[in-house]
Structure 1
């Protein structure tokens, strides 16, 4: 039986597990990834088995509730908007997680979205479960989860809000028994391997050594990928541009966002590569080029700076490239990563999506070059880590 990796969510929730799956396969294990059909080709291209989870991640974000959630920011109100957006999808999502597990596995790995249901699948199958979140997930005294509280509450308060965050996750995922995954239960019955860098999130005061970040996990490499002629020509025609993209975020007024981004680029006096993504950006001109899909591993090192939504995977890709970043976070863990980028010196600052203006974005773009040297140094540190090897080591310890 294979190792089964649960990775529902957006592309950024799936991509790191393709590279991790390849590393596990190279170590001699069979690997299957369970996610939405939209990402099946992505998984199969990496040479991994794909198990389908029903649902349309774009469709959820495109609903009025989904757009209000993505544009409204975090905090308690943002959490309520998230619950409303996902309510109609929960039953089929949980059924898909259960069905993928029913096909059998020797070991389960799960991102933070699926772990509450995966916990019960593991108990049913009597196999180990490794929680493999891409963001801090175990409650800690060192900070509170940004998705609930955008400020600090002291050691007791931070840890309490972390526990509330777990309860919220169980509720959102329709858990039959709230409170099943307490911190003590997690440490006793499942193991947590955090897929982020200690360069970005240093070891925490109340986490065990095994719970601290092991390093980012990278999408499966595509060494044969070649850029479209328009992109290659644009890059060759002038100085490095800035990258602008919002990944899998979907917004209600793409025309307004296009105008804002175009004005910011003009005010900053820079060239820009704009990735259309689910936000439906579309700008073109002498100094601006809109592109479709392109591996960040190839694209980001050729940029002067990267402006993005601060999803965990995009944040990691920018750090690995060693270029300054500007965060425009909207939901969930995105404000956390935006703050971390600024704190470690890789970013001149960030602005919440709901407060974004052309003037604020242009000002941050203008300041970005001052962070180039620090970003390069951080990139060297991040590239020196090998988070996947630590996962392979721990899996080998479990399965032999």
Structure 2
């Protein structure tokens, strides 16, 4: 007697929902469970003669995934000399193994087409974006949210408090203002700042991440690496998540050290080891991570799955992809700010830009500390000696021009949209944050870098090595003479900077990121 066996393969076939209530959270969650999560808990045994149509299939055994009555079923009875295909009506057709292979291919193509049609073409993906930090950490996520919405997906973005920022529709506050936090930290010692300000703020943020993710029930999470409770809540929701690197900080390479850890390369071994330092953040906030695990019902020893990959929002025109990066490290290109319809500059800024005399832009973003008045005076006087007017953005307090510097050739503002201002500037004097580096390079504007901390020395080193900038200036040793010399050096590098700008305009970092998020959301659901 031949040994009988059955292979049951099931896939749901359904058109895009047209019902008015199909957009409800519960319906979407149920559809996602049915469509993308076929797990062993949803399977039931078949007792010898079961078939969805009610017809008898002699000797059939195996398991049937219980999704609903509208399914595709391929039952194969194999023996020493035959195989049979039972269609949905229960009819038996003798087939050869090549035909069986073709049937299997057809089945999986049909299932993929169903998934893509339902979740992508019909705009059913729910993407949760989570970020924390200064504007340099937030604006790329805002751009990504805009691109995802433009592709037809539902997006919610969780961000820090910032009354002056424009986050777009459906944004949620994480309950912490990083500008206020930076001010509080600057007024006390390091240990006291950590204990009294940083720990309470991060505890609130990490808890809010869990709240928002469990309430909104997304299909995929895309997050900043600071948000250490994302892996836990993603595991509980059984969804994939992607980590965003605005500079290389997590994906190890032997070619250079982690941004913000070492100031220069110390060889392949130490370079790779440097990428373990940022992971120490998990120990600093272990109490909050443990609380999230307990709240979501995790056992102490229960492991969580790693991220589905990294989205490294860095332009390959500025940093060549390391040869030893894994395939799951997706170097997408940068995510520039997207212009809004009808977006215009402040009248005062617009009038300043319309004047024929060239100008230098100067701004240090969220940086503060040291002597902001002396720093601003050195930049203003150095630019004047170079024959340039100055558009100075005070930011979070890194620059504060003294009254004696006031003149018709100086305009002081709190901040400006880089994508509108930098293309008009002759040179940009800035701190070297990832966002400003990419914005200035994309604008074709030469840079003078004055790095403070974090990833800024990394970008100063990278741009100097590629010939796009000269030697960076020290933030506390600025003078009108070295600023003037640095401006002259930067202006002489215009040809190289324009060449990079042309290459960057051919990149589509946002499009690549959206495609990868969709790919992970559709094919990366955990079982």
For the aligned pair, the TM-score class normalised by the smaller chain equals 0.7 to 0.9
* Alignment equivalent of 2:432, drawn from 310, 313, 317: 310
Cα deviation digits, residues 130-171 of structure 1 (max 9, x gap) = 11121112122111124222122211111112112322x323
Decide whether the 8 Å contact of 1:52 with 1:100 is kept in 2: no
Aligned to 2:415: 293
**Structure 2 counterpart of 1:61, from 155, 159, 182:** 182
Q: Are 1:94 and 2:206 counterparts?
A: yes
Q: Partners of 1:40 and 1:261 in 2: how far apart?
A: 26
Instruction: Give the direction of change, closer, same or farther, for the CA distance of 1:24–1:247 in structure 2 (3 Å limit).
Output: same
Q: CA deviation at 1:26?
A: 1.8
Distance 1:328 1:186 in 2: 40
Residue 128 to residue 187, structure 1, CA distance change in 2 (3 Å): closer
Which runs of 5 or more residues in structure 1 are unaligned?
70-79
Which gives a bigger RCO, structure 1 or 2 (Cα 8 Å, sep 6+)?
1
Which of 390, 393, 398 matches 2:515?
393
Larger radius of gyration: 2
Q: What CA deviation, in whole Å up to 9, does each residue of 1:54-80 have, x standing for no partner?
A: 1121122112547877xxxxxxxxxx8
Partner of 1:75: none
**1:141 corresponds to 2:228:** no
> Where does residue 225 of structure 1 map in the other structure?
343
Q: 1:262 to 1:173 in 2, by over 3 A?
A: farther
- Look up the match of 2:493: 371
Give SS of 2:158's match: strand
2:51 is the counterpart of 1:51:
no
Residue-by-residue CA offset, 1:160-211 (whole Å, 9 max, x unaligned): 12112322x323444647xx9xxxx999543111111111110112102441
Normalization by structure 2: what TM-score?
0.67
Q: Tell whether the 8 Å contact from 2:332 to 2:512 is kept in structure 1 after alignment.
A: yes
- 2:132 aligned with 1:8: yes
- C-alpha separation in 2, matches of 1:396 and 1:64: 39
* Contact residue 220 and residue 240 of structure 2 kept, 8 A: yes
* TM-score in terms of structure 1 length: 0.86
The alpha-carbon deviation at position 263 of structure 1 amounts to: 2.9
**Unpaired runs of at least 5, structure 2:** 1-24, 26-125, 294-302, 523-527
Q: Is the Cα contact below 8 Å between 1:140 and 1:158 reproduced in 2?
A: yes
Mark the CA change 1:131 to 1:186 in structure 2 (over 3 Å): closer, same or farther: farther
Aligned length: 379
| Match in the other structure for 2:277 | 164
**1:19 and 1:121 mapped to 2: Cα distance?**
24
Q: 1:396 to 1:353 in 2, by over 3 A?
A: same
Q: 2:160 aligns with which of 18, 36, 48?
A: 36
Partner secondary structure for residue 493 of structure 2: helix
Q: 2:390 matched to 1:278?
A: no
Q: Once superposed, what is the RMSD of the aligned Cα atoms? A: 2.6
Q: 1:94 to 1:357 in 2, by over 3 A?
A: farther
Per the alignment, residue 364 of structure 2 pairs with: 246
User: Mean alpha-carbon deviation: is it higher for 32-41 or for 304-313?
Assistant: 32-41
Alpha-carbon separation, structure 2, partners of 1:357 and 1:260: 5
Aligned to 2:225: 112
